[in-house]
Amino acid sequence: MDFLRKTLQRALALTGAVLLAWGLWPQPARVYAGSPGSGWESAFRAPLAIRRGEQAEARLTLKPAAQGAPAPLQLEARLTINGLAMQPQGTLTLSLASPQTATLTWQLLGDSPGAHQGTLWLYRLQPDGSRQPVATYPLRVEVRSLGGLSGKQARLLGILALGSAALGWALHRPRATSSTDFAGGRRKQR
* Residue 17 domain flag: no
Alpha-carbon dihedral of residues 93, 111, 115, 61, nearest 10 degrees? 30
Q: Which CATH number do you get for residue 111? A: 2.60.40.10
* Residue 78 domain flag: yes
* Residue 18 domain flag: no
pLDDT in tens, 102-158: 899 999 998 889 999 999 999 988 888 889 888 888 999 999 988 888 888 888 999
Predicted confidence at residue 95, as pLDDT, reads 83
Beta strands in 38-167 (DSSP E): 40-47, 49-51, 55-64, 73-81, 85-87, 91-96, 102-109, 114-125, 131-144
pLDDT in tens, 25-36: 888 899 988 877
Q: Which of 3-12, 53-62, 136-145, 176-185 has the lowest mean pLDDT?
A: 176-185
Predicted confidence at residue 87, as pLDDT, reads 93
Predicted confidence at residue 110, as pLDDT, reads 86
**Domain tally for the chain?**
1
Which residues span the domain enclosing 33? 27-144
pLDDT reading at 24 higher than 80: yes
* Residue 72 domain flag: yes
Phi, psi of 106 (to 5 degrees): -120, 140
